[in-house]
Structure 1
Amino acid sequence: MKKRYLFILVTVLAVTACSSFRSGPKTEPAAEITTMAAFHAEMSGCQTCHADGSKVTVSDSENHENEQCVSCHGGYEKMANAALEFDPHTSHLGDINCTTCHKGHDAPQFYCNNCHSFNIEAMPFADVPKKAAWDRDWNQEAIQKAIAAGPVEKTDVVVVGAGSTGFNAALTAERKGAKIILFEKAPFTGGNSMLAAGGINAVGTPQQAKKGIKDSVDWFVEDTMKGGRYKNDEKLVRIMAEESADAVKWLESLGVNLDGLKRSGGARVQRTHAPANGASAGPQIIQTLRKVAKREHLDTRLNSRVEKLVLNDNREVVGVVVHGKHSGYYMVAADAVVLATGGYGMNKEMIAWYRPTFAKMTSSNNITATGDGIIMAKEIGASMTDIDWVQAHPTVGKDSRILISETVRGVGAIMVNTDGKRFVNELTTRDRASDAILKQKEGYAWLVFDEQLIAKKKMVRGYEHLGMLKKADTVEGLAKMTGMSALPETIKAYNAYQSTGKDLAFGRSDMPLNLTKPPFYAVRVAPGIHHTMGGVAIDPDSEVLDLQSWPIPGLYAAGEVTGGVHGFNRLGGNAIADTVVFGRRAGAHAAEYALKK
């Protein structure tokens, strides 16, 4: 199916209109327009994009340039085009920088295809020769020169990585009175958190009380320890459980809706809090954190990769070396640093080294999940824990990198093999579900559900939009379409179990929906790399530990860059809980440490 990207005409019309009120000297018409920069310069000079056409300086974040884009073309709401089969301006990535995809002096990059496989035609200036990526390598010589030159600026706390962990750490530290710089290597914020679908696990919330759900911190801890095969650090797990309700309260205070309540695999009760409208939790959390950070003028710098942790002779953290897209290498002095860089699920070399059996497996991760924080921490002698434990999520869309949220099963979908037969309790832990799928004759499975689930789970419409769903008006029609000959019999049996509340086949305890309302849907799924449970070793205060298990003064870490919280296997809903609880703890302790110096 072809998707057309009808943007050139919009660009020409908008820029032509814009040029009528732009001022400044015009350049001589170019013989041939080759880049977007040349296209704009022909009309109004370099100041069309840059602040001063005579002396072009660009910040790493490219904020001014993006403001210029919006001033002429309008924001994403204006650029949206409902007539398109696929509209990149209504992406789940939200209101991100235009320069993420559109480049002034380089070939455009359709960022969506880092995860998807859309056939996008006629992207403006697509014939421009592509330049080498600014962040293609780590220049050790340049790093050492930056250290030798000394810091160009000073702050109290540096936070590395602007996903949920980083934002929560930075906002918490700032509210403690610390001066913060938040660095993000990507052209927009969000990290893996932007892709999180399910929600945040929490115990003792008003949402649970309203539904009469009995739960406890001890149950939360027991479920998490059992899911991690008792390899977790129980002290960290208990902290996450005890502070989970406050994490939900904190997010709600910022403006996140978490009134929906679902059950994820491995949990004994409904504990996963998500948006009430059934939308994915991650994008809403990140969009809210972005707005709060902007409102509070949090110093957030994009296209800025931290590449070195700098220590003094006493082995204390005193700053970082940053590689900026436009500014190059420079050192920032800081009294404390928080690593919030995420895991290494997209670093093929690290996966092959630590978990070679997963080396050829697809990944649901953001392309930024390359283990930077782990690499930097190891360089200065930090201890690692559980580093080779990698989780395969059982339901990544087959032949794609799109995660089918665990809450789809939690809400009521069943999982069947290529014959249409159930083969596992759909609410078992991710590792066991993945193992069960891989043992099936084709190594993949189908998730099957009906219109009732679509009504409850808004995100599923997104899977349909991406062309991932098979759809039929009858169960028999769906069975014929997918080759699942046993599906009608399987659904009949499951509906009988659901009506009595007893799953005699696999012991599924929570069956909120039957499968009776057409149309009926199926989506192919297979295991894919989803979470790296191991990483930097931390103590309960989120301090990073050295090889002798002593804290490295001034260095903190939280989220997927760390190990110990999830053990051998992470439960669905615990990732966001980890990022919020320990992100806030890391930010608070880093601020307290820095302000005492």
Structure 2
Amino acid sequence: MFSATLKRTSLALALSGFIAGSAYAAPEVLADFHQEMGDCSTCHVSKKGPTDDNLTHENQQCTSCHGTMDDMAAQDAEKKLKVSPHKSHLIGEIACTSCHKGHEKSVAYCDACHSFDFDLPFAGKWERKFVPIDVNKDAQEKAIAAGPRDTTDVVIVGSGGAGLAAAVSAHNNGAKVILLEKEPVAGGNTKLAAGGMNAAETQFQAKLGIKDKVSTMIDDTMKGGRNINDPALVKELAQNSSDSIDWLTSMGADMSDIGRMGGASVNRSHRPTGGAGVGAHVAQVLYNAAVKSGADIRLNSRVVRILEDAAGNVTGVLVEGKYTGYYVIKSKAVIMATGGFGKNNDRVAKYDPALKGFAATNHPGATGDGLDVALAAGADTRDLKYIQAHPTWSPVGGVMVTEAVRGNGAILVNREGKRFVNEITTRDKASAAILKQTGASAFLVFDDSVRKSLKKIENYIHLGIVTEGKTVKELAEKMNMPVPALEKTIASYNGFVKTGKDTEFARPNLPRDLVSAPYYAIEVKPAVHHSMGGLKIDTKAEVMNKKGSTIKGLFAAGEATGGVHGANRLGGNAISDIVTFGRIAGKSAAEFVKAK
């Protein structure tokens, strides 16, 4: 075995093409390449291959040769790469094997959402196909017959904000937890969320003199959801929202900055200082807390069946480990925190044909497997036909632009250089208005004062999706807009800010005029964002069956559920939902286990 230094040098030279000889001429995959440095044990414990689905040993071998993700990011900086593939919004300890595959073509995980054209060794093309949960029936039945490989109190399915919150909450209430995630990285859609977390009557609102009420948050949420929301769930969301902020803060989260998202009547969207992205921050805080609690977090582990006894009580799950195969975990409770199905356009179009062919803001794992698993266990659903398109997704690079950009003062203009909508109306209305414009897209236009008010904008500039002009005239010319029209639009808007009343589109908040050069624009269009419908739950996060009874031992939280958001989710309510109902699900499951 090479020393770490020698291995690192040899691999770097080989990958750079400096080692002569046909052995390095055209290896197909990393396994072929590494065979030149030894046998299977160069990467694996033995010739039998991986011992766990996290590829713990294999990833340790990677870092022993190449260094950590931070080391690689430093090398990217030295190379002056515009976008570093080793530094991102992904949370947790990112495994090298998330991208660098051993026995198949390597793929840049980022390309599941973006298109950065990374020069990845032994690369293939990113492709994700939906695989039904009931394939390989014989192998599944054989694993069930073999009995449980592991036993725990609570199994949590999904590692987004809801699953991580549930893991921490279940531990805090005395339960032992195994958390399963089918993707090679943790965080779900939560790590992509940017705008904020809605909460009413919080300590941070009080410090800023913001007057808000739980009842007002309830009214806003019901109105935004067209009043088809479950009132009991909305009440639970709003009443617990301030406690959820305090809970996150107690674990080290920074939720002190407050802005406003579409559909809210007051500023209640909490986020890190300076308006930094909320999702990755909250997800990392929860991930750290879950790891500290001792939760057994398993990646590359897809749950394909909830197991029940003859009386219909949950007894565990059947897991499909990507590397270790099918196996059973015995548990007294299961929490489904699997998110929605926005990345599965076939399913999206089934419920809403108007969204067929739309891009999605979701992470690659949001395909609806969890919904299928729960349905097979007899769960009931509600509101599946309500699927939200986020109005401001950038087709350049596939980046969702947070609603907070509009909330902090940006305006939406069309190709004619004119405003056409109240920028902080609800997402469904904003999306519909954009689709009616020439080219079915629009442009977010803002100035330097908006940029300085929101740290998240720096990410968009870094990713190259922002056009800059030293003057409004220069910006209009770069965007191929009529200069007089854009100048008039901005002047009119600034006039509304001075008078405090938008007489054109009745925008309720006018935080700042756009007078600070330079000026910026981002092209945006709607993309599938959130599935409001899902599993039917009660206020304890217990999953209901089609007879209206609870399925004993089955709980759910987050986007996997329906009822909280009705027909349309308000911006900022997703993080509030996953944290609040994740906490509730974890506590309820732990209490259920204790009572058995």
Classify the TM-score, shorter chain.
over 0.9
1:107 match: 105
- Give a deviation string over 1:548-591, Cα, whole Å, max 9, x none: 11001000000001000000000000000000000010011011
> AA paired with 1:377?
A
Of 448-457 and 551-560, the range deviating more from structure 2: 448-457
> AA paired with 1:390?
I
Give the CA deviation at 1:382: 1.1
Corresponding residue pairs, total: 575
8 A contact 2:395–2:523 mirrored in 1 = yes
Kindly report which structure 2 residues correspond to 1:36-51, keeping only aligned pairs within 5 A, or say none.
Answer: 36-50=30-44
- Give a deviation string over 1:173-212, Cα, whole Å, max 9, x none: 0121111110000001011001001111011111100111
1:493 and 2:488 aligned? no
Of 459-468 and 312-321, the range deviating more from structure 2: 459-468
Return closer, same or farther for 1:62/1:217 CA change in 2, 3 Å cut-off.
same
Match of 2:9 among 2, 12, 16: 16
Kindly report which structure 2 residues correspond to 1:51-70, keeping only aligned pairs within 5 A, or say none.
Answer: 52-53=45-46, 56-70=49-63
> AA paired with 1:547?
K
Return closer, same or farther for 1:510/1:418 CA change in 2, 3 Å cut-off.
same
1:163 match: 160
> AA paired with 2:63?
V
Give the Cα–Cα distance (whole angstroms) in 2 for the partners of residues 86 and 221 of structure 1: 41
Give the CA deviation at 1:423: 1.1
Give the Cα–Cα distance (whole angstroms) in 2 for the partners of residues 130 and 557 of structure 1: 31
8 A contact 1:414–1:447 mirrored in 2 = yes
8 A contact 1:217–1:242 mirrored in 2 = yes
1:117 match: 115
SS in structure 1 opposite 2:365?
Answer: coil
Match of 1:374 among 368, 371, 374: 371
- Give a deviation string over 1:215-243, Cα, whole Å, max 9, x none: 00000000000000001001000110010
- Give a deviation string over 1:381-406, Cα, whole Å, max 9, x none: 21111011101111111365321101
- Give a deviation string over 1:500-526, Cα, whole Å, max 9, x none: 211121111211121111110011111
1:585 match: 584
SS in structure 2 opposite 1:525?
Answer: strand
SS in structure 2 opposite 1:391?
Answer: strand
Give the CA deviation at 1:100: 0.2
Return closer, same or farther for 1:102/1:548 CA change in 2, 3 Å cut-off.
same
Give the CA deviation at 1:380: 2.2
Give the CA deviation at 1:286: 1.6
Give the CA deviation at 1:55: 5.1
> AA paired with 2:469?
A
Of 420-429 and 91-100, the range deviating more from structure 2: 91-100
Give the Cα–Cα distance (whole angstroms) in 1 for the partners of residues 518 and 126 of structure 2: 46
Give the Cα–Cα distance (whole angstroms) in 1 for the partners of residues 156 and 199 of structure 2: 25
SS in structure 1 opposite 2:507?
Answer: coil
8 A contact 1:107–1:131 mirrored in 2 = no
SS in structure 1 opposite 2:423?
Answer: coil
Give the Cα–Cα distance (whole angstroms) in 2 for the partners of residues 587 and 498 of structure 1: 46
Give the Cα–Cα distance (whole angstroms) in 1 for the partners of residues 491 and 6 of structure 2: 57
Kindly report which structure 2 residues correspond to 1:378-417, keeping only aligned pairs within 5 A, or say none.
Answer: 378-398=375-395, 401-417=398-414
Kindly report which structure 2 residues correspond to 1:73-152, keeping only aligned pairs within 5 A, or say none.
Answer: 73-80=66-73, 81-82=76-77, 83-94=80-91, 95-121=93-119, 123-126=120-123, 138-152=135-149
SS in structure 2 opposite 1:266?
Answer: coil
SS in structure 2 opposite 1:243?
Answer: helix
SS in structure 1 opposite 2:440?
Answer: coil
Gaps of 5+ in 1: 1-10, 20-28
Return closer, same or farther for 1:349/1:283 CA change in 2, 3 Å cut-off.
same
Return the TM-score normalized by structure 2.
Answer: 0.92
8 A contact 1:310–1:321 mirrored in 2 = yes
Match of 1:242 among 220, 235, 239: 239
Give the Cα–Cα distance (whole angstroms) in 2 for the partners of residues 130 and 421 of structure 1: 38
Kindly report which structure 2 residues correspond to 1:458-537, keeping only aligned pairs within 5 A, or say none.
Answer: 458-485=455-482, 486-537=485-536
2:17 match: none
1:182 match: 179
Of 144-153 and 552-561, the range deviating more from structure 2: 144-153
8 A contact 1:381–1:547 mirrored in 2 = yes
1:319 and 2:319 aligned? no
> AA paired with 2:69?
Y
Return closer, same or farther for 1:483/1:54 CA change in 2, 3 Å cut-off.
closer
- Give a deviation string over 1:302-343, Cα, whole Å, max 9, x none: 000000111111111111110001111111111100000000
Give the Cα–Cα distance (whole angstroms) in 2 for the partners of residues 134 and 493 of structure 1: 49
1:263 match: 260
2:16 match: none
1:215 and 2:208 aligned? no
Coordinate RMSD, CA, aligned: 2.2
Give the CA deviation at 1:12: 10
> AA paired with 2:559?
E
1:198 match: 195
> AA paired with 1:593?
F
Give the Cα–Cα distance (whole angstroms) in 2 for the partners of residues 433 and 285 of structure 1: 27
Give the Cα–Cα distance (whole angstroms) in 2 for the partners of residues 371 and 43 of structure 1: 41
2:562 match: 563
> AA paired with 2:233?
L
Return closer, same or farther for 1:494/1:350 CA change in 2, 3 Å cut-off.
same
1:447 and 2:444 aligned? yes
- Give a deviation string over 1:74-113, Cα, whole Å, max 9, x none: 2222111221122101122144111000112221111111
Give the CA deviation at 1:451: 0.9
Return closer, same or farther for 1:494/1:40 CA change in 2, 3 Å cut-off.
same
Question: Percent sequence identity over matched residues?
Answer: 47
Return closer, same or farther for 1:134/1:481 CA change in 2, 3 Å cut-off.
closer
Give the Cα–Cα distance (whole angstroms) in 2 for the partners of residues 192 and 131 of structure 1: 19
Of 455-464 and 32-41, the range deviating more from structure 2: 32-41
8 A contact 1:231–1:567 mirrored in 2 = yes
8 A contact 2:107–2:126 mirrored in 1 = no
8 A contact 2:176–2:295 mirrored in 1 = no
> AA paired with 2:253?
V
2:29 match: 35
> AA paired with 1:76?
M
SS in structure 2 opposite 1:394?
Answer: strand
Give the Cα–Cα distance (whole angstroms) in 1 for the partners of residues 212 and 24 of structure 2: 71
- Give a deviation string over 1:149-186, Cα, whole Å, max 9, x none: 22222111100000100000011101211111100000
8 A contact 2:345–2:358 mirrored in 1 = no
> AA paired with 1:112?
C
Give the Cα–Cα distance (whole angstroms) in 2 for the partners of residues 406 and 530 of structure 1: 12
Give the CA deviation at 1:68: 2.4
SS in structure 2 opposite 1:479?
Answer: helix
Of 408-417 and 509-518, the range deviating more from structure 2: 509-518
Give the CA deviation at 1:17: 6.5
8 A contact 1:559–1:583 mirrored in 2 = yes
Give the Cα–Cα distance (whole angstroms) in 2 for the partners of residues 143 and 381 of structure 1: 19
Return closer, same or farther for 1:446/1:271 CA change in 2, 3 Å cut-off.
same
Gaps of 5+ in 2: 13-21
1:573 match: 572
Return closer, same or farther for 1:130/1:223 CA change in 2, 3 Å cut-off.
closer
Give the Cα–Cα distance (whole angstroms) in 2 for the partners of residues 387 and 345 of structure 1: 12
Give the Cα–Cα distance (whole angstroms) in 1 for the partners of residues 224 and 398 of structure 2: 24
Return closer, same or farther for 1:329/1:120 CA change in 2, 3 Å cut-off.
same
